[in-house]
Amino acid sequence: MVEVNMRNKLTTFPILAITLVVFLIFSVSGCITNGSTDDQAKTINVTDMAGRSVTLKYPVESLVLMDSTCTAEFSSVYGEGFDSKIVGWDNNLRDNSGDMYEKYVEKFPAMAEIPDVGSLDDNTFNAEKVIALNPDVVIMHDWEFMWDGEATKEALTRLDQAGIPVVFLDFYMDPMTNSTKSMQLLGKITDKEQRAQDIVDYYDDKVNSIYSRLEKIQGKKPTVYIECAYKGPETYGISYGDVAWGDIVKKAGGDNIAEPILLNKSKALSAEYLVNQSPDIIILTGRNWSTPGSLRMGYTSTPNVTKSTMTPFINRPGWDTINAVENQKVYGIYHGYCTDIFNFVALEAFAKWFYPEEFRDVDPAETLKEYHRKFMPIDYSGTLVYSYY
Amino acid sequence: MDVKSKEAYKKMVGRKYFFLLSISVAIFFTFILDIMTGPASLSVREVISTIFFPAYSERSVQVIVWTFRLPVALMAVVTGITLGLAGANMQTILDNPLASPYTLGISAAAGFGAALAIVFGVGVLPFADTLFVPINAFVFSLISCMAIYGIARFKRATSETIVLTGIAVLFLFDSLLALLEYTANPEQVQAIVFWLFGSLTKTTWTTLGITVGIVLMVIPLLAIDVWKLTALRLGDDKAKSLGVNVEKMRLKGLILISILTSTAVAFVGTIGFIGLVAPHIARMLVGEDHRYFLPFSALSGAFILSTASVLSKAVVPGIVFPIGILTSLIGIPFFVWLLLSKKRGYW
């Protein structure tokens, strides 16, 4: 721990010095040009996804991403040159989405050097470091309030004291409504509104086509169980009430068995409840978690790896009596999707799994490829949407 | 011996047997209730017929009764017995009313072992994934016991030395655990915390079998010593004058306790409180004679844990509620009521 503090000090001084020098140069050059234009930096006022009114420098040139997995959204909105704009982030991308991290670093090696500012989830958040990096804005997510309310409030106070604005996005609490708004907000503050709008149009186009078809479908909704398969097969991972994945299941026309008992929380269900409910469809979410036995999915996973890590889940006691297993309707989806812009692909995949006949022509993997081609700096690869049978 | 005192003794023994019988009946009922409760609403007839004629019921009902409910209900009883016995034995050999598997840091050591497995080790041993956490917990609780044992051997095994060593061990492992939690990522911390809360839901027939086997092995070893243990309660000097080798008794007790506690803790996590309170309940109701005190303490433990198991399913049906949170919540009122209703000190 001492070492870390030393490192901070060592980086803080040069950065402070550099900022000071830069500031001097600017003020001097400002004097030389006789205050002709830009001595007053432009500002913009926005209302963020947490309903806070924030004033920031316009356009923002440097960001700290409190959730580094947000790189996917930021890079697609910003396009060319996004990598040099991220001046700090947490380790979420590296530790939990290692596959995506690799893809980015492969293409933009400098990203490996982006400093880690700690995370609010485990109290490692280092406000001092953020202040030293002096970003134009710090990007946070609404779920921070739910998971780490205290730490978040404290971080806000400290950043506020340092005059560093914080903008909240939301891809989790109300994913199907707030994702596009969050993209527009990102576009607005970085002066990339057109690109953001292109993404939003694409997104809306996709989801609306799903919604309009769902409206026409009559009859009983399939019952669905969705679990974050990060604990391995022995322990039931969390399932979702009416948030995140649960919300997407509902919007895709599924009847989420966790909702009546979880309401709007995320908790693990008991095995007995699941077997007794015997849902029509089971969806397990996978990623590159470090936990052994967890479901492996992502940019660097092959279908074989996903299959072999999913088999033990299907062999859990009692699962052979569940409708979903008997009727061979067990699926996997990349876990990053409930917290990012790709949730429209999840919606597509779910709708297709729930109503295979009506959505025969929909191909989520194809949609993903297209999105990557159009908006993402990295290429599509790996296993992001998976059907076990 | 006059008739009167014989009569009085008979009456006293009769009362003890009555208590033992009552608590056994109570456990039987909580056990049945435990098999009956769960998110799947099964009728009494369904459950009974599935227990006795599994072949005639639906597969899913079979799974629910045989895979999910029976092992858990039985594990609640067996773990309760284990913790009750460990606590009773501990308080006796340490001559200390506050002694419990917690006091000696055995639970803390087990928690640290489990956390170590969760943070670093799991996956290192590809073959023992399911048992890796419990084995690690077991090993570490044994290590802590051996450390206490070693120090006790090195000095004379007085109860003060052992208790103080235990407390030192407790703080050591607690801070090591905190250190682990500090370095772990949020998911791992959550897994550790959940493990520390204790949970019966992961019980399988295998882990149940192992626990039962170990308990059955330890009970006769304890039963041999009931008179010596009773003598020990008179104090070291009196016990010595009655020919009890006090130090040997202590060390033997320590080993048995560590085996019992490690087993219980390894499979269900650190369920606190039972090891401390079950012996007190037993002492208040049937007194110090270890022929009654040990079984009653074991049965009180079983009763508390079985009740907690029923309640843990009733809190929010369909969600796993950590049982360790409930044991003290339901045990405390009963314990306090007993304390207040006692006219004199009983320790």
Collect all residues with Cβ–Cβ distance below 8 Å to A43 and sequence separation of at least 6.
Answer: A55, A56, A57, A58
Q: Tell me the percentage of chain B whose pLDDT exceeds 70.
A: 95
Of the partner residues A262, A270, A320, the one whose CB lies closest to the CB of residue B39: A270
CB-neighbour burial class of residue A30 (10 A; exposed 0-12, middle 13-18, buried 19+): middle
> Are B64 and A272 in contact (CB < 8 Å)?
yes
Query: Mean pLDDT, to the nearest integer, of B208-229?
Result: 90
pLDDT at A5: 45
Averaged pLDDT of chain A: 85
User: DSSP per residue over A25-51, as a string?
Assistant: HHHHHHHHTTT-STTS--EEEEE-TTS
Two tokens, residue A134: 């002096």
Domains of chain B, CATH where assigned: 3-340 (1.10.3470.10)
pLDDT at A112: 92
Cα–Cα distance between A212 and A193 in angstroms, integer? Answer: 27
Interface test with B, best of A262, A276, A296, A320 (most B CBs within 10 A): A276
Cα–Cα distance between B296 and A167 in angstroms, integer? Answer: 62
Name chain A contacts of B57, Cβ cutoff 8 Å.
Answer: none
For residue A88, the cross-strand partners are A64
Whether the pLDDT of residue A174 is over 60: the answer is yes
Could you report the per-residue pLDDT of A51-98, keeping only the tens digit for each?
Answer: 899 999 988 999 999 988 889 999 999 988 899 999 999 988 888 788
Could you report the per-residue pLDDT of B87-120, keeping only the tens digit for each?
Answer: 999 888 888 887 888 778 888 888 888 888 877 7
On whether the CB atoms of residues B72 and B309 are closer than 8 A, the answer is: yes
Q: What's the one-letter identity of residue B199?
A: S
Whether the pLDDT of residue A15 is over 70: the answer is no
Helices (H) and strands (E) in chain B, counts: 15, 0
Cα–Cα distance between A244 and B82 in angstroms, integer? Answer: 42
- Reference A175, options A203, A136, A138, A137; nearest CA is A203
State whether the Cα torsion A294-A297-A302-A307 is positive or negative.
positive
Could you report the per-residue pLDDT of A208-239, keeping only the tens digit for each?
Answer: 999 999 999 888 999 999 999 988 888 888 89
> Are B59 and A320 in contact (CB < 8 Å)?
yes
- Reference A84, options A58, A117, A116, A108; nearest CA is A108
**pTM metric for this prediction:** 0.77
- Reference A130, options A63, A80, A176, A182; nearest CA is A63
pLDDT at A32: 42
On whether the CB atoms of residues B123 and A292 are closer than 8 A, the answer is: yes
On whether the CB atoms of residues B319 and A261 are closer than 8 A, the answer is: yes
pLDDT at A28: 45
pLDDT at B213: 92
> Are B316 and A261 in contact (CB < 8 Å)?
yes
Instruction: Looking at chain A, list the stretches that DSSP marks H as alpha helix, in order from N- to C-terminal side.
Output: 2-32, 71-78, 92-96, 98-107, 127-133, 143-161, 175-190, 193-216, 244-251, 259-262, 271-277, 303-314, 323-326, 343-354, 364-375
Cα–Cα distance between B106 and B147 in angstroms, integer? Answer: 10
> Are A262 and B319 in contact (CB < 8 Å)?
yes
Q: At what angle do helices B246-268 and B129-154 cross, to 10 degrees?
A: 160
Of the partner residues A272, A292, A293, the one whose CB lies closest to the CB of residue B38: A272
Q: Which residues of A touch B (CB under 8 A)?
A: 95, 119, 121-122, 230-232, 234-236, 261-262, 267-273, 275-276, 278, 289-293, 317-318, 320-322
Cα–Cα distance between B94 and A233 in angstroms, integer? Answer: 42
Averaged pLDDT of chain B: 84
Query: Mean pLDDT, to the nearest integer, of A345-363?
Result: 92
Two tokens, residue B54: 């599994």
For residue A116, the cross-strand partners are A89
Q: How far is B195 from chain A (nearest CA, A)?
A: 11
Answer with the residue of higher pLDDT: B19 or B152: B19
Answer with the residue of higher pLDDT: B292 or A98: B292
| Angular region, A81: left φ>0, alpha ψ -120 to 50, beta rest | left
Q: How confident is the model at residue A36 (pLDDT cuts 50, 70, 90)?
A: very low
Q: How far is A314 from chain B (nearest CA, A)?
A: 15
> Are B319 and A270 in contact (CB < 8 Å)?
yes
